[in-house]
Amino acid sequence: MDTSVPSVSERRVHVVPLGYERDRIVEPLRRHGADVAYLLVDAPDRDAARGDVDFDAAQAVDPGDIRIDPDGLTAYQRDAWAAVAEFAEVRAIPVAHADVYDVLGVTTTVAARHRASAEDGDRLFGNVSTGPRIAAVGVALACMIVGARPYSVEPERHRHDRREEPLTTGIERTVDLPIYPMDAPTTDQVAVLGRLHDRAEGNLTTEKWNLIEWARERELSFLREAGESRTAKYRALETHVLSPLRERGYVDLEDIGRSDTVRLTETGRRVFFAFKHKLDGR
């Protein structure tokens, strides 16, 4: 999770399904200084359209005021709600946990409310550990769409030995999940990530011109239309490779003297391993 200090004007806003958990809901919010916690309370029969959020009702203290049956909550869920309210603003939203589109829509609506995609907006996080699997998928997809930070919380211990008995028994139904195209890096971008990875493994720094010469030897496509001008080659590298990678947090640039050193971030390293299959046969 991103734990860097927010600016004076921005707040840490968390979206957390109120599932059958207590510590995995409360403790991450406490430890990471949540300012606002949206608790997604399961309401399978709610009347509102998918993704709709009544922000005025969400601030109610009494579950009955947000059209949630208090008797439907367990004692530890109510305790989690009260515990979070001691250090953060709690805003409860009824949502159908078993409807991935409802969870996704509610989460993106919250993101829009807090301008999470804007530079001057709040910082949004999504807990993907505290609800059923479908709710987790909805929160995770929403975070990817709006550029928020999803996080997972590993429990210290389980209630029973999973080596002796399974977590669940039987099945009720199978649910189709939405498919969203991911903005995967291009083959050229993956190749450059691989070059940076190999250089870093050898404790070698990498300048832009080193990347250009290496890419020319391997006939990477981004240089084919650049011509022979040195300036044009730098522009092609920046436009087609480095700028997109930098925007996604895969690389960093550092000014050293008259040269720009390109460094692979930890995220960029993981992305390289995830997509290096694109380089098969090259």
* Bridge partners of residue 207, in order along the sequence: 261
- Please state, in angstroms and rounded to a whole number, the distance separating the CA atoms of residues 95 and 51: 8
| Per-residue pLDDT reduced to its tens digit, 189-239 | 999 999 999 999 999 999 999 999 999 999 999 998 887 889 999 999 999
The residue that leads in pLDDT, 166 or 253, is: 253
Indicate if 134 and 198 belong to the same structural domain.
no
Residue 134's contacts (CB-CB under 8 Å, 6 or more residues apart) are 97, 98, 99, 100, 103, 175, 177
Its domain, for residue 19, covers 12-151
- Please state, in angstroms and rounded to a whole number, the distance separating the CA atoms of residues 224 and 232: 11
Please give the tally of structural domains in the chain.
2
Residue 98 in any domain: the answer is: yes
Q: What is the CATH number of the domain that holds 117?
A: 3.40.50.10770
Q: Phi and psi for 8 in degrees, rounded to 5? A: -60, -40
Indicate if 104 and 199 belong to the same structural domain.
no
Of 132, 151, 170, the domain-final residue: 151
Residue 4 in any domain: the answer is: no
| pLDDT above 90: residue 118 | no
Residue 251's contacts (CB-CB under 8 Å, 6 or more residues apart) are 193, 196, 242, 245, 262, 263, 264, 265, 268
Q: What is the CATH number of the domain that holds 200?
A: 1.10.10.10
Token pair, residue 45, equals 């029969």
The answer to which of 24-33, 59-68, 267-276 has the lowest mean pLDDT is 59-68
Model pLDDT, residue 196: 96
Of 151, 172, 206, the domain-final residue: 151
Indicate if 144 and 223 belong to the same structural domain.
no
Model pLDDT, residue 265: 93
Residue 58 in any domain: the answer is: yes
Of 95, 129, 151, the domain-final residue: 151
| pLDDT above 90: residue 163 | no
Residue 116 in any domain: the answer is: yes
Residue 95 in any domain: the answer is: yes
- Please state, in angstroms and rounded to a whole number, the distance separating the CA atoms of residues 22 and 77: 6
| pLDDT above 90: residue 54 | no
The answer to which of 51-55, 60-64, 231-235 has the lowest mean pLDDT is 60-64
Residue 49 in any domain: the answer is: yes
Indicate if 26 and 120 belong to the same structural domain.
yes
Token pair, residue 234, equals 């730098």
In three state form, how does the secondary structure of 158-202 look? CCCCCCCCCCCCCCCCCCCCCCCCCCCCCHHHHHHHHHHHHHHHC
Evaluate whether 245 touches 251 at the Cβ level (below 8 Å): yes
Residue 200 in any domain: the answer is: yes
Residue 261 in any domain: the answer is: yes
Token pair, residue 78, equals 């109510």
